[in-house]
Amino acid sequence: MFDNPERTNLEQLGEFGLIDHITKAVELKEPSTVKGIGDDAAVLDFSGKKMLVSTDLLLEGIHFDLRYVPLKHLGYKAVQVNLSDIYAMNGIASQITFSIGLSSKFPLEAVEEIYAGALLACQKYGVDLVGGDTSASVQGLVISVTSIGHADGEAVVYRSGAQVGDLICVSGDLGGAYVGLQLLEREKRIFLENPNIQPDLEGKDYIVERQLKPEARKDVVELLARLGIKPTAMIDISDGLASEILHICRASGKGCKLYEDKIPIDPMTYETAREFGIDPTVCALNGGEDYELLFTIRQADYEQVKGQPDISVIGHVTDADGGYELISKSGNVHPITAQGWNAFTSR
């Protein structure tokens, strides 16, 4: 695609031309957006609600590999990853700013793909794109997203509110994004060794999609509101269940007991992990990028969640002396440690 003779050159278009071109597709629908792109700053009006702000930086070669991530998916995922932080506060996202730095090796069509993905995510989640920055880069592709959301003052849920006896819940299923990544990495290696071999991802749609096109759990925030449940603590799962439950426990000054057999793992995740010789539970604990919500609720709310197919109760909160424990399927007790991803380790 980059060698397409009809490619439109970014140098010809210039920064203002590029911004004009991109922003044509941007529509504003949120009532809290007073003014979007086109001035020095966006103007928002939340009329008395608490505002939420979160930001992420995504760098080529660290957070994504353009050899197997389609650009449109990349734009979509960059937005989802960031919205997920707003939902993890029990808020509703309403605006994003989307900034991009890219070298002139990218034609206009590549930029359009990234923005198309970002705008698709915005549309689907009811979010306005209200600003951003566009720059040349002498390095690789750089994406920075900031999302803005809101919640009634009382509704905001922090990581720090878990109480002894609370039930630990997780939405959806875990480990899929990590196993999907293993699959994509394997196919990339095969392709690099022999470019004539086409990637074999047949029947693996679910886990590939978990990696390339995650969906932030706005629906779970809405479901909890409908059920009348306010979690006592909440976080989104970006670095793996182990790392996230430790964040909640430490912020709350509590311990936890998780049960391996309660951790929701999709059958395709399970089988593919086995094919790779990896323990599926380890994928759920340390894989990351699932963007599910991990939260604690009072025991009194159990009746409300137990019939919900998309919520699993996986353990409970103990006092700090109880430590951080995983009870394995065979009944053994393992300490939970954050093997979380260290972005500064040489790889």
The DSSP bridge partners found for residue 151 are: 50
Using CB under 8 A as the binding rule, whether residue 13 contacts its own copies is answered as yes
CA–CA distance, 12 with 125 (Å, rounded to integer): 34
Q: Which residues contact 148 (CB under 8 A, 6 or more apart)?
A: 44, 51, 52, 53, 86, 93, 94, 95, 96, 130
Q: Is 63 in the site for its own copies (CB under 8 A)?
A: yes
Of residues 277-336, those binding its own copies (CB under 8 A): none
63 is in an annotated binding site: yes
Helix (H, G, I), strand (E, B) or coil at 212: helix
* Nearest-angstrom CA–CA distance, 5 and 109: 12
Of the candidate spans 23-31, 52-60, 72-80, 278-286, the one that interacts with its own copies by CB under 8 A turns out to be 52-60
55 is in an annotated binding site: yes
345 is annotated as contributing to ligand binding: no
Instruction: Write down the least CB distance from residue 293 to its own copies, Å.
Output: 10
Give the CA distances from residue 32 to residues 46, 125, 249, in Å, rounded to whole numbers and listed in that order: 6, 15, 35
Residues 80-99 that bind its own copies (CB under 8 A): 84-86, 88-89, 91, 95, 97, 99
Q: Which is nearer to its own copies, 107 or 264 (CB)?
A: 107
Q: Which residue of 21, 23, 28, 35 would you call a contact of its own copies, by CB under 8 A?
A: 35
Cβ-contact 88, 293 below 8 angstroms:
yes
Q: Count the neighbouring beta carbons within 10 Å of the beta carbon of residue 333.
A: 10
Do the annotations mark residue 20 as ligand-binding? no
* Sites for its own copies among residues 115-134 (CB under 8 A): 130-134
Query: How many CA atoms lie less than 13 Å away from 106 in the CB half-sphere?
Result: 22
Contact region with its own copies (CB under 8 A), list: 114-122, 154-162, 174-182, 278-286: 154-162
Residues 233-262 that bind its own copies (CB under 8 A): 234-236, 251
Query: Which stretches does DSSP call E strand in 209-300?
Result: 233-236, 254-259, 293-297
**Which residues fall in the annotated binding site?**
40, 54-56, 63, 85, 115, 132-133, 159, 236, 238-239, 289, 341
**Which residues fall in the annotated binding site for Mg(2+)?**
40, 54-56, 85, 133, 236, 239
